[in-house]
Amino acid sequence: MAVSDLPPHGLSHGALRGVKVLDLTRILAGPTTTQLLGDLGADVIKVENPGTGGDDTRQWGTSVARDADLTPYFMAANRNKRSLALDISQPDGQQVIRRLAAQADVLMENFKPGGLARYGLDYHSLRDACPRLVYASISGYGHTGPNREKPGYDLMAQGYGGMMSLTGAPDGAPMKAGVGIADVMCGMYAAVGILSALRHRDLTGEGQQVEVALVDSQIAWLINEGVGYLNTGQLPVRRGNEHPSIMPYGNYQTSDGHVILAVGNDSQFRRFMRFLALEGLADDPRFATNPARLDNRQALTDILIPALRRHSTQTVITAMEAAKVPVGPVQTLDQVFASDQVGARDLVVTMESNGTPLRLLGNPLKFSRTPVTYRRPPPTCGAHSDEILATDHPFAED
């Protein structure tokens, strides 16, 4: 899918058209939030420190574009924004932020708790002058608690919040997820909080602060494992790709690779056993029900491993799809992005930046009336400074 960059303020679509966002975030959690708001139509001005070269992620990796500061890490979370290079440690920079905040609907920041207070740009300093402002704050551990002063990164959140203790092979070391999922999920929670606060503001005229922490959000999505521990006191164990409550469920080796199987009920298990020519196991008291299969997990695994290794990945997938047993491949990224499904769902978009085509991940949200739009490619640091500073009203009007 190819998209063109619209002229400045070209907000032609989007459920958040007319929403003005002042973005003081960097790295991943905050930029994920503001990119999502931008995709939905908001006008986002991203403030970057010119003294450090802008957002930290501009230096995280090698540029894939003509512009040296457009790394994949930065590009992944910063489209649909304009970049303003501004030193907020200086009085002139602080005055610009106050002027923009007075016009904005949302200000988002991810400084350490109290970090903006020294510049008079924290929520309490701006609240009286901007009573309708939704002020969103992301930090590592939150603005209260004994760890409030500690910095927060995705890896630390996954470790402190317990996710790493659940991830990895049973006999291996604790393992983080392959991407910064704690950052991304924190950004998603922040987006929900901002939209909720905007709804309240539109009903009452009253702004407020929305505060979310990396560790808080990571603990919140421990879901069944967290709730299970809280109610039983039993620590869950790492099971690799297996499921704690469903069996068989996991990644299994075939004759030429791997296949994912998720056998969710007893009738699916019976059809699975028929494919493997092991029909008798469906009536074996050790395996006839899911609770029995969980109690005899290792015995069943010892049977399944050699049985599945006799078949190719595609043979298993074809047979299980015909039998209506949930199944799928383990794809590498080249296979993912070459798939017809990715094309059909517009999960790759191309935007042009200074003559260079940039391929980006598409937004997964689909709307029947207010579609996601891709209006601006990820900007170079300070690319829109002159445009923004040249007018008293730089935000797009509804």
Residue of 362, 378, 356 whose CA lies nearest to 75: 378
Residues 6+ apart with CB under 8 A from 11: 17, 18, 41, 43, 373, 375, 396
Provide the residue count of the chain: 398
d(CA 252, CA 367): 37
User: 27 near 57, Cβ under 8 Å?
Assistant: yes
Residues 6+ apart with CB under 8 A from 313: 254, 255, 256, 257, 258, 259, 329
d(CA 69, CA 83): 12
Instruction: Verify whether residue 183 is a known catalytic residue.
Output: yes
User: 389 near 42, Cβ under 8 Å?
Assistant: no
d(CA 62, CA 73): 9
Distance between first and last Cα of the chain: 27
Q: Which of 23, 55, 122, 183 is catalytic?
A: 183
User: 250 near 260, Cβ under 8 Å?
Assistant: yes
Residue of 107, 133, 137, 106 whose CA lies nearest to 206: 133
Residues 6+ apart with CB under 8 A from 38: 21, 44, 79, 80, 81, 375, 376
Q: Per the structure block, which two tokens stand in for 315? A: 């043979």
Residue with tokens 């008293």: 392
Active site residues: 183
